[in-house]
Amino acid sequence: MTRNYNFSAGPSALPEDVLKQAQHELLDWHGLGLSIMEMSHRSKEFVAVAAEAEQDLRDLMKIPDNYKVLFMQGGASSQFSMIPMNLLRGKTTADYINTGDWSKKAIKEASRYCDVNVVATTEADNFTSVPAQSELKLNPDAAYVHYTPNETIRGVEFDYIPDTGDVPLVADMSSNILSRPIDVSRFAMIYAGAQKNIGPAGLTVVIVRDDLLGDILPTTPALYDYKVNADADSMLNTPPTFGWYLAGLVFKWLKAQGGVEGIAELNRRKAEKLYAVIDSNPFYSNPVAINARSWMNVPFILANADLDKLFLQEAQDKGLLNLPGHRSVGGMRASIYNAVPEEGVDALIAFMQDFSQRHG
C-alpha cells in the first residue's frame, strides 16, 4: 500500500494514524461486534463518543464554559444562512468583511435576510491582502460582524483578530480552525466545515456564545435554531455519527501532537519553507502580501504557464497529489493542513526545485 502526499484543499488529508485506527475498529467497535456507524446515535456508547469529542475540542481550543459547541450538518455554506437567522436578533443590518470568494458567498446569502454592510473589501487588489483594522468602517448598530479568517482559494489569512467592540464577531474558520492557538473569547461565534482540519465532510462545527441563543427569525426551521440544537446536544435528529466519531479520533491525534500549540509550530515551519522557495526561485511566485499569507493554503504560479500541465503530471507521478489551483484562479495550490506531514512539504519543495532546474 502506498499513501501519497495529498495537498487537496478539501476534503483533504487525514492523519494516517487516525485512518488506521478507524480501519482497525471498523468491523468491531470496542468488542461490540458492530461498527460505530451501525449503532443508534442515542446509544450510551455513541453518546459517550460524542461527548468525549466535544470535550477534546473544548480542551484543544480552550473553549470557555459560556460557549456551546454544536455538531451540525449542511457544511459551512449552510451557516451562511443560519448566521443571520440566529444572530440578527431583532436588528436589520450586519457588517461583512470581504476578502475573497468565501466572504462573497457568505455576503450573498446573508443579503437574503438583512442589509449587508460591506465594511471593507480587498477586491481592488484582487484579494491578495487583508484590510487593516483602521480600514474597517464598522457600524456600532450592526447585529454582528462576519469575516473569513482564512480564504481557502487565494490563500489569504488574517494576521489579527478584528476588534469589533461590543458587536459580536463571527468567523468562518473552515480552513484554519485548529491550525494555531486562538482566543475563543474574542469571538461570538466560530464555525467550520469539518473536511479540512477536523474530519470527513458532512459535519459542521459551530462554537457559539450562549447569550446569543434563542432570539431567531420567526421562520427559522427548528433544525437551524442554535438554541434548539444546543438544548438537544446536537441530536435533534440523527447527526452524522461517523464524521463525529472520526473528528473525535482527529482531536485525540491532535492532542498527541502537542495540541494546537504543537501543531502550530509545525504549521509555521511547513509554510515558511514553502514560501521561502516560492520567493527565492524566480520560476515560482505568489501574489499575496507577506503579512496575509495563509499557513494552510499556499497558491503559486509558474513563470511559464505552458508548463502547468507537465508540472502537475510529474508531481502526480511522484505521489504529490491535488496541486491544481482552484478552477476560478488556475495555477497551483498546495494545501498543507494539520495532517499533511512535514516530509510531504519537503518532498514538494525538492520536486519544485528539480522541476525548475530542468525547465527554468
Residue 299: name the closest of 353, 327, 335 by CA.
335
**56, 95, 172, 225: the active-site residue:** 172
Question: Judged by CB, which is closer to ligand PMP: 22, or 76?
Answer: 76
Is residue 157 a contact residue for ligand PMP (CB under 6 A)?
Answer: no
Chain center to CA of 208 = 16
Half-sphere exposure of 170 (CA within 13 A, CB side): 27
Do 318 and 338 meet the contact criterion of CB atoms below 8 Å apart?
no
Strand partners, 156: 151, 293
Interior/surface letters 103-124, b for 16+ CB within 10 angstroms, e for the rest: bbebbebbeebbebbebbbbee
**196, 225, 270, 295: the active-site residue:** 196
* Three-state secondary-structure class, residue 177: coil
Is residue 77 a contact residue for ligand PMP (CB under 6 A)?
Answer: yes
- Has 17 been annotated as catalytic? no
From the list 25-33, 70-78, 223-231, 277-285, the region that binds ligand PMP by CB under 6 A is: 70-78
Is residue 334 a contact residue for ligand PMP (CB under 6 A)?
Answer: no
Question: Judged by CB, which is closer to ligand PMP: 29, or 127?
Answer: 127
- Has 62 been annotated as catalytic? no
Chain center to CA of 232 = 25
**Contacting ligand PMP (CB under 6 A), which of 75, 287, 324, 341?**
75
Is 166 annotated in a binding site? The answer is no
Do 300 and 281 meet the contact criterion of CB atoms below 8 Å apart?
no
Write down the least CB distance from residue 144 to ligand PMP, Å. Answer: 17
Is residue 102 a contact residue for ligand PMP (CB under 6 A)?
Answer: yes
**Contacting ligand PMP (CB under 6 A), which of 13, 18, 76, 143?**
76
Is residue 152 a contact residue for ligand PMP (CB under 6 A)?
Answer: yes
Would you tell me which residues interact with ligand PMP (CB under 6 A)?
10, 75-77, 102, 148, 152, 172, 174-175, 193
